[in-house]
Chain A
């Protein structure tokens, strides 16, 4: 359909969402970008953050995503990430706990584990931030 954009969100273990939307806002590593129908082909990395699905000027879906990749082209928008959860399903206290656990892990991490621990902390913080943030409009 011309005025809708196909949106797929997949993690290695499952397909989280596959739907049609008016616009999808993806947190690219070089800045957020919105995908409207007929977007020019782009391939980018994704930073931990929130994907927003817009329909008729309102936000109809929000997903927390960790880092991964996004591809947009004429057919639609595909996002591949390690982790994806609808923001509404995130448990606030569990997210806080995860941030704390990640901080502790980072302190005790040696050289080899540092990178992984940093990623985990970034993910946890983004997840917590996702619960606090409000839809843009």
Chain B
């Protein structure tokens, strides 16, 4: 039976934990709002780039000299999996759900006899994946998005990947990250970026747009050679933004839960405390009364 003092200390400690979690929730909410604004602001560029690439790739797909980033190396033997997670924890199932999916994907690829390489972005995923697949990990990139997620961060990751691609270290590259759907729902997404999968134009609907003949300056190949690496950065940037928003969303949810749990705990501890206190008083009264009766 815990003493009154123990209970009081326990309640105080839970209260201060609750203060911390609720503060973290507010911070996550503010960061989430900022991350969403940022994602919103980045959308026009990504959308238009996709459109440009679509019209360009459409006219290039048939020709022979399409760049490798678009057409692939012709093989599918070595896969690079870019696992994007956060550097910090305390965000619920955010990191583990990414890692779980990445694991499943790696196991699947290995079962098919493919070689897998892993590039970790973010500490948390790295420390989980390291347990099973340490020899496959090529590198860890951390410290992204501090203080603020910038396009340079994305370019850093993209150029790392492109370097490896040019050195012929892999054939297919896939990003694994959390797509932000809402504060309570984040969806683990696998996105293949190399070779870049251009959405196949929908027959009929797209026919008008693709029938427009563009003039290219300089020529198509040269533009594609600049556009594709750029697009890589944009895709990585978009993934990072989504991931960032998801992380803060997940943290907000986790901290909201923690705050609520702490509240419940405080209630039950307070009940316990009062009951113990009353029992103590009753006991003292009985002692006094029986003492008086004995006289």
Residues of chain A touching chain B, judged by Cβ–Cβ distance below 8 Å, are: 8, 10-15, 18, 28-30, 40-45, 69, 71, 73-74, 78, 80, 82
**Is the CB–CB distance between B38 and A78 below 8 Å?**
no
Number of B residues contacting the other chain (C-beta, 8 Å)? 30
Q: A12 touches which one: B52, B222, B234 (CB < 8 A)? A: B234
**Is the CB–CB distance between A44 and B48 below 8 Å?**
no
User: Which residues of chain B have C-beta atoms less than 8 A from A11's C-beta?
Assistant: 45, 151
User: Which residues of chain A have C-beta atoms less than 8 A from B218's C-beta?
Assistant: 29-30, 44-45
**Is the CB–CB distance between B150 and A42 below 8 Å?**
no
The answer to whether A12 and B227 touch (CB under 8 A), given A45-B218, A80-B49, is no
Question: Please, which residue of chain A has its CB at the minimum distance from the CB of B212?
Answer: A41
Is B44 engaged at the interface, CB distance under 8 Å to the other chain? yes
User: Which residues of chain A have C-beta atoms less than 8 A from B52's C-beta?
Assistant: 43, 69, 71, 78, 80
The answer to whether A13 and B41 touch (CB under 8 A), given A42-B215, A73-B212, A80-B48, is yes
26 contacts between A and B (CB under 8 A): A8-B44, A10-B45, A13-B38, A13-B41, A13-B45, A13-B151, A14-B42, A15-B44, A30-B218, A41-B212, A41-B213, A42-B214, A42-B215, A43-B55, A43-B216, A43-B217, A44-B216, A44-B217, A44-B223, A45-B223, A69-B230, A71-B51, A73-B214, A74-B212, A78-B48, A80-B52
The answer to whether A43 and B150 touch (CB under 8 A), given A13-B41, A80-B45, is no
The answer to whether A30 and B217 touch (CB under 8 A), given A15-B44, A69-B223, is yes
Is B294 engaged at the interface, CB distance under 8 Å to the other chain? no
User: Which residues of chain A have C-beta atoms less than 8 A from B214's C-beta?
Assistant: 41-43, 73
CA distance A11 to B155 in the complex (A): 14
**Is the CB–CB distance between B56 and A43 below 8 Å?**
yes
User: Which residues of chain A have C-beta atoms less than 8 A from B223's C-beta?
Assistant: 43-45, 69
Q: How far is the CB of A97 from chain B (nearest CB, A)?
A: 19
Is B226 engaged at the interface, CB distance under 8 Å to the other chain? yes
**Is the CB–CB distance between B42 and A42 below 8 Å?**
no
- For the A-B complex with A12-B46, A43-B215 known, give 12 more contacts whose Cβ atoms are closer than 8 Å: A11-B151, A12-B45, A12-B151, A14-B41, A28-B217, A29-B217, A30-B217, A42-B216, A43-B52, A43-B55, A45-B217, A69-B223
Q: How far is the CB of B38 from chain A (nearest CB, A)?
A: 7
The secondary structure that dominates the B interface is: helix
User: Which residues of chain B have C-beta atoms less than 8 A from A13's C-beta?
Assistant: 38, 41-42, 45, 150-151
User: Which residues of chain B have C-beta atoms less than 8 A from A14's C-beta?
Assistant: 41-42
User: Which residues of chain A have C-beta atoms less than 8 A from B226's C-beta?
Assistant: 45, 69
User: Which residues of chain A have C-beta atoms less than 8 A from B222's C-beta?
Assistant: 45
Is B180 engaged at the interface, CB distance under 8 Å to the other chain? no
Is B170 engaged at the interface, CB distance under 8 Å to the other chain? no
Q: How far is the CB of A74 from chain B (nearest CB, A)?
A: 8
User: Which residues of chain A have C-beta atoms less than 8 A from B246's C-beta?
Assistant: none
User: Which residues of chain A have C-beta atoms less than 8 A from B95's C-beta?
Assistant: none
Is B22 engaged at the interface, CB distance under 8 Å to the other chain? no
**Is the CB–CB distance between A41 and B48 below 8 Å?**
no
CA distance A15 to B46 in the complex (A): 11
CA distance A29 to B215 in the complex (A): 14
CA distance A30 to B222 in the complex (A): 12
User: Which residues of chain A have C-beta atoms less than 8 A from B150's C-beta?
Assistant: 13
